């Protein structure tokens, strides 16, 4: 029996583990870094130990401090979640030596699967098919290159200590081998402190299909498969169970191979055996190969729980406390279909860089199982993985699960940060994905189309203008047809910027709650009480329109605009900040209202505009420049002075 569980992790997985523990009557102890003092996972647990620090090395990776906290607070078990210390055999061992239960596999099992080369050798021995390739000791360029030639191009160079797609390079031609090898080795050395690599045949049209397994040290069972082929740079984006078009016989073969792998290492707890499958033809019993085993709970475990109706974390806790497997292989029956999408704070316009900041507004769509580590008002910090939530939809079949996930995502609203929501929405509508005919190359092949962002239509500009005036904010907990008050001027001009397009819109309010908006000469009439086609949210100086596509407009405050322009035409920085964009060059003629510079301060962007027409002179602002408050960035020399 476990009485109190220390959860050695953060974010959504810590919240997820706390939920199962609570349902089982187990008390929970959180750990938190300084950056996470008020995080959701802390609030989801009964007690917390503050470790201080921000980076993982100063917090979630402090093995001794975590074990000491467990002992001091009377915890009797430790669950590592995924990532961080979950696959660290020394930590697993130290936990047990301290007299605590380890909710995971034995240190020996983690070690056996820790390095991909040793794992492949072991799997070969117990008759699990492995990807043809070289996983020997010798690491000279000559040996590796020779191996690649024998395997036949294209090949994959993989760091033996790799994870998360790091230290991996595909090589298509022999003449590129040496350069790719050097870069894979240096990335592996940097990320894992181990430069060793193996060489594998690159499987054509690869599908990533993995088997969830579970062991109690005596026997192991398999819990069906997950298809995780939708990947960006070898990182999973969408996962589903079961795999589309999976023949029964192939599932059985793969499941049995995975069970052999688990039993070969006396596996305890949840684990995943990852296979790469040749997807160039239909799935066959001889076309799957062992890739690696992850000796922990996996990010995408919820889709398995959904189709089997089981709680994998509860199983982990029962087995860690000495229990046997709750079900036999025959009793494990799947029903329906489940799909998960990983919602990240990232900027798809800028190579999916993490987007850091506050979640001013966060509302998930209906019909979803949401596994989140943050709530509205929370922060995404630069210290950890920028995942906002995992969204999971389940239905009696794939089409209905897909429809539910798509609708749920389309009705998900996030303001304050850039997210991959629109990318996920596009991905779920990709015709090959919809048909269930896809491989790991789908995203890279169609990246352009998947990230293409249409420009807002006149109606979107009009809606954004009303939202900027506070007349259409559907995000607040009030009726959206607020109409307008006595204090709302009947005519108003609103300046908005979308990407580098700036427009000043004229809004006229009419009786009966109607608004007429002039958008660059085009007239759009809207009813404030109309059911919005697009939800609108005003947050932190931006107007957000949500729908199939998210549009974000900077609302340019007219007061701020004039405050920063002096009588001599100088535009000065109203606050210290970073120059994000310079719209003009020296000598350029500008009109009143034209944007000159975007300044970022306190994580908000401010557009500084010309308040009169003229020529740009003394332009000192340059992109990415840090500027002080009051610093002159440019001077707009009025036309008439020049004429005179
Ligand atoms: P794999 O791609 O090998 O199957 P997963 O998809 O299960 O791995 O992702 C595990 C990864 O999640 C870890 O390697 C790590 O980068 C990341 N991670 C670790 N801890 C957390 C956390 N608390 N929240 C979100 N992501 C995390
Ligand atoms: P990691 O430890 O980084 O998760 P994996 O060995 O699991 O590394 O590989 C990550 C991904 O790379 C796989 O999900 C798959 O998309 C791709 N991949 C790996 N091995 C091969 C291969 N031999 N042929 C084609 N693609 C592969
Ligand atoms: Mg992997």
Domains detected in the chain: 4-103 (3.40.50.20), 132-201 (3.30.1490.20), 206-451 (3.30.470.20), 458-555 (3.30.700), 570-638 (2.40.50.100)
Q: Which ligand is nearest to the CA of 372?
A: 1
Residue 268: which of 314, 345, 211, 325 has the closest Cα?
A: 325
Q: Is the CB of 236 within 6 Å of ligand 1?
A: yes
* Phi then psi dihedrals of residue 578, to 5 deg: -115, 130
Q: Is the CB of 162 within 6 Å of ligand 2?
A: yes
Q: Is the CB of 259 within 6 Å of ligand 2?
A: no
Q: Is the CB of 170 within 6 Å of ligand 2?
A: no
* Phi then psi dihedrals of residue 367, to 5 deg: 80, 10
The pLDDT, as a whole number, for residue 642 is 42
The pLDDT, as a whole number, for residue 563 is 53
Judged by DSSP in three states, 578 sits in: strand
- Tens digits of residue pLDDT in 317-330: 999 999 999 999 99
* Phi then psi dihedrals of residue 284, to 5 deg: -125, 165
The pLDDT, as a whole number, for residue 238 is 98
103 contacts 78 by C-beta, under 8 angstroms:
yes
* Ligand 1: residue whose CA is nearest its atom 17: 83
The pick from 40, 41, 83 for probing ligand 1's pocket by mutation, whose C-beta has the most ligand atoms within 8 angstroms, reads: 83
Tokens in use for 77? Answer: 């078990």
Q: How far is the CA of 460 from the centre of ligand 1 (A)?
A: 37
The more confident residue out of 310 and 563 is 310
458 Cβ partners below 8 Å, 6+ apart? Answer: 519, 520, 522, 524
The pLDDT, as a whole number, for residue 244 is 97
Tokens in use for 442? Answer: 């789908």
Which run of H or E residues covers position 107? helix 107-114
Q: How far is the CA of 318 from the centre of ligand 1 (A)?
A: 24
Q: Whole-number mean pLDDT of the chain? A: 92
* Ligand 1: residue whose CA is nearest its atom 20: 83
118 Cβ partners below 8 Å, 6+ apart? Answer: 112, 160
178 contacts 126 by C-beta, under 8 angstroms:
no
Q: How far is the CA of 184 from the centre of ligand 2 (A)?
A: 14
| Over residues 49-53, mean pLDDT | 97
Q: What angle do CA 13, 14, 18 make, to 5 degrees?
A: 115
The pick from 114, 200, 234 for probing ligand 2's pocket by mutation, whose C-beta has the most ligand atoms within 8 angstroms, reads: 234
- Tens digits of residue pLDDT in 202-211: 998 999 999 9
277 contacts 298 by C-beta, under 8 angstroms:
no
> With left for phi above 0 and alpha for psi between -120 and 50, is residue 540 left, alpha or beta?
left
Which ligand 2 atom is nearest residue 208's CA?
Answer: 14
Cα–Cα dist 590/567, whole Å: 17
Q: How far is the CA of 425 from the centre of ligand 2 (A)?
A: 25
Beta pairing class for 77-79 and 4-7: parallel
Cα–Cα dist 642/644, whole Å: 5
Cα–Cα dist 523/530, whole Å: 17
- Tens digits of residue pLDDT in 232-268: 999 999 999 999 999 999 999 999 999 999 999 999 9
Length of the chain counted residue by residue: 644
pTM: 0.85
Q: Which ligand is nearest to the CA of 239?
A: 1
Residue 211: which of 221, 233, 226, 232 has the closest Cα?
A: 226
CB atoms within 10 A of CB 280: 12
Q: How far is the CA of 546 from the centre of ligand 3 (A)?
A: 34
The pLDDT, as a whole number, for residue 570 is 86
Q: Is the CB of 233 within 6 Å of ligand 2?
A: no
Q: Is the CB of 208 within 6 Å of ligand 2?
A: yes
The pLDDT, as a whole number, for residue 511 is 81
277 Cβ partners below 8 Å, 6+ apart? Answer: 203, 206, 207, 208, 209, 283, 287, 288, 289
* Ligand 1: residue whose CA is nearest its atom 9: 299
Q: How far is the CA of 337 from the centre of ligand 3 (A)?
A: 22
* Phi then psi dihedrals of residue 201, to 5 deg: -65, 135
The pLDDT, as a whole number, for residue 572 is 85
Cα–Cα dist 349/356, whole Å: 15
* Ligand 2: residue whose CA is nearest its atom 6: 291
Strand partners, 497: 502, 554
* Ligand 1: residue whose CA is nearest its atom 26: 385
| Over residues 116-135, mean pLDDT | 95
Which ligand 2 atom is nearest residue 201's CA?
Answer: 23
The more confident residue out of 612 and 189 is 189
Q: Is the CB of 206 within 6 Å of ligand 2?
A: yes
Q: Is the CB of 291 within 6 Å of ligand 2?
A: yes
Q: Report CA torsion sign: 425, 428, 431, 437.
A: positive
- Tens digits of residue pLDDT in 428-484: 999 999 999 999 999 999 999 999 999 999 999 999 999 998 887 665 543 333 344
Tokens in use for 610? Answer: 């010309």
Angle between helices 11-23 and 312-320 (to 10 degrees): 70
Q: What angle do CA 9, 12, 13 make, to 5 degrees?
A: 50
Q: Is the CB of 203 within 6 Å of ligand 2?
A: yes
Beta pairing class for 27-32 and 4-7: parallel
Strand partners, 168: 158
- Measure CA 136 to chain center: 35
Tokens in use for 90? Answer: 């020394």
- Tens digits of residue pLDDT in 58-103: 999 999 999 999 999 999 999 999 999 999 999 999 999 999 999 9
- Tens digits of residue pLDDT in 158-180: 999 998 889 999 999 999 999 99
Q: Is the CB of 52 within 6 Å of ligand 1?
A: no
525 contacts 463 by C-beta, under 8 angstroms:
no
Angle between helices 177-192 and 141-151 (to 10 degrees): 120
DSSP 323: P
* Ligand 1: residue whose CA is nearest its atom 14: 83
The pLDDT, as a whole number, for residue 496 is 93
* Ligand 2: residue whose CA is nearest its atom 23: 202
The pLDDT, as a whole number, for residue 481 is 36
Q: Is the CB of 293 within 6 Å of ligand 2?
A: no
The pLDDT, as a whole number, for residue 334 is 97
Residue 236: which of 349, 344, 120, 113 has the closest Cα?
A: 344
Which ligand 1 atom is nearest residue 13's CA?
Answer: 23
35 Cβ partners below 8 Å, 6+ apart? Answer: 54, 59, 379, 381, 383, 384
The residues annotated as belonging to the active site are 296
19 contacts 314 by C-beta, under 8 angstroms:
no
502 contacts 592 by C-beta, under 8 angstroms:
no
pLDDT at 600 over 90: no
Q: How far is the CA of 255 from the centre of ligand 1 (A)?
A: 23
Q: Which ligand is nearest to the CA of 235?
A: 1
Q: Is the CB of 11 within 6 Å of ligand 1?
A: yes
- Tens digits of residue pLDDT in 355-404: 999 999 999 999 999 999 999 999 999 999 999 999 999 999 999 999 99
Cα–Cα dist 583/609, whole Å: 10
The pLDDT, as a whole number, for residue 558 is 64
């Amino acid at each position: 029996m476990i009485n109190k569980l220390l959860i050695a992790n953060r974010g959504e997985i810590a919240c997820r583990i706390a939920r199962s523990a609570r349902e089982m009557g187990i008390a929970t102890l959180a750990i938190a870094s300084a950056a996470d003092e008020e995080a959701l996972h802390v609030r989801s647990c009964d007690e917390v130990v503050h470790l201080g620090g921000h980076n993982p090395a100063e917090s979630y990776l402090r093995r001794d401090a975590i074990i000491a906290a467990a002992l001091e607070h009377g915890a009797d078990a430790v669950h590592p979640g995924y990532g961080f210390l979950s696959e660290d055999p020394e930590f697993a061992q130290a936990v047990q030596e301290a007299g605590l239960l380890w909710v995971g596999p034995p240190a020996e099992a983690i070690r056996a699967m820790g390095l991909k080369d040793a794992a492949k050798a072991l799997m070969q021995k117990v008759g699990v098919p492995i990807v043809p390739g070289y996983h020997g000791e010798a690491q000279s360029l000559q040996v590796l290159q020779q191996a690649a030639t024998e395997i036949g191009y294209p090949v994959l160079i993989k760091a033996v200590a790799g994870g998360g797609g790091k230290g991996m390079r595909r090589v298509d031609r022999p003449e590129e081998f040496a350069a790719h090898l050097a870069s894979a080795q240096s990335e592996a050395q940097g990320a894992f402190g181990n430069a060793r690599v193996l060489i594998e045949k690159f499987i054509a049209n690869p599908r990533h299909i993995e088997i969830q397994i579970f062991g109690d040290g005596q026997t192991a069972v398999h819990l069906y498969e997950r298809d995780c082929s939708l990947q960006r740079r070898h990182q999973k984006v969408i996962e589903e169970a079961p795999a589309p078009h999976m023949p029964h016989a192939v599932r059985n073969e793969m499941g049995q191979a995975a069970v052999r792998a688990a039993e070969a290492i006396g596996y305890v707890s949840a684990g995943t055996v990852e296979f790469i499958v040749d997807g160039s033809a239909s799935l066959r019993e001889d076309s799957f190969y062992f890739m690696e085993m992850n000796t922990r709970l996996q990010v995408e475990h919820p889709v398995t729980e959904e189709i089997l109706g089981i709680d994998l974390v509860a199983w982990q806790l029962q087995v860690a406390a000495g229990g046997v497997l709750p079900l036999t292989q025959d009793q494990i029956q799947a029903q329906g279909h489940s799909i998960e999408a990983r919602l990240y704070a990232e900027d798809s316009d800028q190579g999916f860089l993490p987007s850091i900041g506050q979640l001013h507004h966060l509302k998930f769509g209906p019909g979803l199982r949401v596994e989140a580590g943050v709530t509205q008002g929370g922060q995404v910090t630069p210290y950890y993985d920028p995942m906002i939530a995992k969204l999971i939809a389940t239905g009696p079949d794939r089409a209905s699960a897909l429809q539910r996930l798509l609708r749920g995502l389309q009705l998900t609203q996030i303001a304050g940060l850039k997210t991959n929501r629109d990318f996920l929405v596009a991905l779920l509508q990709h015709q090959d994905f919809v048909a269930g005919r896809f491989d790991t190359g789908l995203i890279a092949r169609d990246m352009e189309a998947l990230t293409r962002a249409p420009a807002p239509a006149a109606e979107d500009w009009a809606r954004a203008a009303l939202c900027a005036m506070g007349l259409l904010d559907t995000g607040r907990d009030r009726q959206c047809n607020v109409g307008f008050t006595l204090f709302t001027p009947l005519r108003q001009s609103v300046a908005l910027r979308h990407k580098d397009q700036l427009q000043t819109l004229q809004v006229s309010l009419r009786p009966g709650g109607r608004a007429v908006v002039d958008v660059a000469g085009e007239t759009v009439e809207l009813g404030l009480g109309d059911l919005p086609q697009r939800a609108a949210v005003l947050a932190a100086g931006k107007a957000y329109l949500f729908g199939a596509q998210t549009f974000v407009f900077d609302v340019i405050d007219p007061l701020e605009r004039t405050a920063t322009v002096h009588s001599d035409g100088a535009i000065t920085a109203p606050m210290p900040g970073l120059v994000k964009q310079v719209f003009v060059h020296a000598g350029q003629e500008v009109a009143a209202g034209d944007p000159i510079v975007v300044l970022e301060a306190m994580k908000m962007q401010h557009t500084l505009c010309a308040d009169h027409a003229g020529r740009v002179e003394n332009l000192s602002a340059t992109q990415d420049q840090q500027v002080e408050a009051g610093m002159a960035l440019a001077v707009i020399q009025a036309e008439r002075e020049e004429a005179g």
